[in-house]
Chain A
Amino acid sequence: DPKIIQKPKYLVAVTGSEKILICEQYLGHNAMYWYRQSAKKPLEFMFSYSYQKLMDNQTASSRFQPQSSKKNHLDLQITALKPDDSATYFCASSQEGKNSDYTFGSGTRLLVI
Chain B
Amino acid sequence: QQKVQQSPESLIVPEGGMASLNCTSSDRNVDYFWWYRQHSGKSPKMLMSIFSNGEKEEGRFTVHLNKASLHTSLHIRDSQPSDSALYLCAASASNMGYKLTFGTGTSLLVDP
Contact = CB atoms under 8 A, between A and B. Distances in A.
A63 B96 CA distance: 24
Interface in B3-53: 4, 31-32, 34, 42-46, 49, 51
Among A40, A45, A50: residue with most chain B CB under 10 A: A45
Contact of A56 (B34, B42, B44, B97): B97
B32 A56 contact: no
A45 B99 CA distance: 7
B59 to A, nearest CB: 17
B42 A48 contact: no
A45 B32 contact: no
B62 interface: no
Nearest to A104: B43
A94 B94 CA distance: 17
Among A100, A104, A107: residue with most chain B CB under 10 A: A104
A43 B102 contact: yes
Contacts of A44: 102
Interface in A76-109: 90, 94, 96-107
B73 interface: no
Nearest to A4: B43
A96 B99 CA distance: 11
Nearest to B96: A56
Contacts of A96: 98
28 contacts: A31-B98, A33-B99, A35-B102, A42-B102, A42-B104, A43-B102, A45-B101, A45-B102, A48-B97, A48-B99, A50-B98, A56-B96, A56-B98, A56-B99, A58-B99, A90-B43, A90-B44, A94-B98, A97-B98, A98-B32, A98-B92, A98-B97, A99-B49, A101-B46, A104-B43, A105-B43, A106-B42, A106-B43
Interface of A: 31, 33, 35, 40-45, 48, 50, 55-56, 58, 90, 94, 96-107
Interface of B: 4, 31-32, 34, 42-46, 49, 51, 88, 90, 92, 94, 96-105
